[in-house]
Amino acid sequence: MRMATALSVVVLAAGGIGHAVVTGLDTGITRVDPFKDMKNRPQAGTGMNVLVVGTDGRDRITPEEKRKYRLGGAPCHCTDTVLLVHISEDRDRASVVSLPRDSYAELPEHTDQNSGRKHQAHPVKLNAAYAEGGPALTVRTVEAMTRVKIDHYLEVDFTSFMRTVDAVGGVQICTTKPVKDSYTGLRLAAGTHELDGGQALQYVRSRHIDGAADIGRMQRQQKFLAALVDRLTGGGVLFNPVRFREVATTLLGSVRADEEFGTDQLLALAKAMRGFTPASSEFVSVPIGDVDFPVKGIGSTVKWDAAKAQRLFAAVREDRPLASRPEAAAVRKPKAVVVDVAPRNVRVQVYNGTRIDGLGRKVDDALRGTGFDTTRSPLTGAGEPKRTLIEYDPRWDRSAKSLAAALPGAELKAVPKRGGTLRVTVGADYEGVTAVRAEAAPARGPFEAVTGDQVVCP
């Protein structure tokens, strides 16, 4: 056993996961041909593009799981999630573009896979493409909408999703406030949670948590994917042949994929991801022009912003990063504490309550450096408090909590009618400012994309 372990370490260090580890894994994949008889396809770009769809496969869920995770009802045989995943040519970056399932789409002329009837081109919601024409019509529709040539197709249902999450040991999700969705049964208190497969499915399916509906759900799906990358790259899965084979077998044993997606592609992706961190992944949703675009006979659809979407997909075709990359020095900064209210929305007046000259300016600069809207004019405070004091109007209590996270140990004091500007009196206990950020990371770059390290737990 020791010899085998030592040998595996040498093999991994020399060249990543070996071919023998993944050989034969693709024999369990159910094959589909999403590219059959396709004509007038977009020109191939640089890098690799994979269309990943999540299907409503609740017909394969056990009765106990249906009850526990609120998966009752008949399956809709449609796509619950549509993701365009771009792997850069140098295999150093993965870009994930979320396509809203309710996106306004125009299906090309096709034959209905259920009735056999021929249909002329007509408008639908994007997820209906799968119901009418399966993988092939879905690929044709996405290519027509994005002008991005799809290289591979991967279809994941509820069962394969849950089993895969369990195989990697679950994922870690953070939330700054309680999350509750009566439709999926999801209930999370504020804080950090380890989600198993069933809980993760509830998390990525929930769309009744807030008013953001499907847009909010896509953001949670992006957070989940970033957390999954973090677990794969930081949990030893890619460096342990036994665990890698277990996870790959679990995933590939219950997915559908095109004929060309097999051992070689899996090996290439595994080797590429050995150098991955959450910062290597980036996530973006298609720019939206109208979240409630009515279409006769279909209902409310999501209409893309045509000009912005065109620029986004041009960047994908040209293998360009979608998110701005911080400088190396910035990457080495400590991870920020996640807070409920973005610091840029918190107005702060700093008072120096000590005899240390210039400390008020120092604290003002430090708070501004982590994003708070300071007055830039620190004042001298009365007395010499031992503890730093934060005074706030009760109407701005959430803002006060965000400020308190940046000043660990500070005392909070509610002062009615003080107004929207919070007052910080620096005390003798001051030791520095802790970096904070809002749960929803600020937009980065022209496409409002975020990198994985911005949305995983700190």
Round to whole Å and give the CA distance between 79 and 91. Answer: 28
Query: Taking residues 217-233, what's their average pLDDT?
Result: 80
How would residue 310 be classed by pLDDT, with cut points 50, 70 and 90? very high
* Under 8 Å between Cβ of 348 and 403: yes
* Under 8 Å between Cβ of 255 and 155: yes
Round to whole Å and give the CA distance between 211 and 47. Answer: 36
For a pLDDT cut of 70, what percent of the chain falls above it? 79
Nearest of 56, 42, 34, 38 to residue 108 by alpha carbon: 38
Alpha carbon 96 to chain centroid, angstroms: 8
pLDDT reported for residue 406: 95
pLDDT in tens, 313-357: 999 999 999 987 654 434 444 568 888 888 988 999 999 999 998
**Structure-token pair, residue 287:** 């720019």
Round to whole Å and give the CA distance between 83 and 96. Answer: 7
Is the pLDDT score of 420 beyond 80?
yes
Q: Which of 208-217, 221-230, 351-360 has the lowest mean pLDDT?
A: 208-217
Q: How much of the chain is in helix, strand and coil states, percent to nearest 5?
A: 35, 25, 40
pLDDT reported for residue 212: 56
- pTM of full prediction above 0.85: no
Q: State the Rg of the chain over Cα.
A: 25
How would residue 99 be classed by pLDDT, with cut points 50, 70 and 90? very high
pLDDT reported for residue 399: 92
Supply the mean pLDDT for the chain. 81
pLDDT reported for residue 149: 96
pLDDT in tens, 115-164: 778 888 899 999 889 988 889 999 999 999 999 999 999 888 877 788 88
Is the pLDDT score of 39 beyond 50?
yes
pLDDT in tens, 272-287: 555 667 788 888 989 9
**Structure-token pair, residue 281:** 């992944």
Residues 6+ apart with CB under 8 A from 120: 109
Nearest of 275, 393, 371, 312 to residue 96 by alpha carbon: 312
**Structure-token pair, residue 122:** 């007509």
pLDDT reported for residue 350: 96
Q: Which of 77-86, 400-409, 445-454 has the lowest mean pLDDT?
A: 445-454
Q: Are strands 379-380 and 347-352 parallel, antiparallel or unpaired?
A: parallel
pLDDT reported for residue 6: 41
DSSP result, 104-159 = EEEEPSEE-TTT--EE--EEEETTHHHHHHHHHHHHHHHHHHH-----EEEEEEHH
pLDDT in tens, 18-28: 555 555 666 66
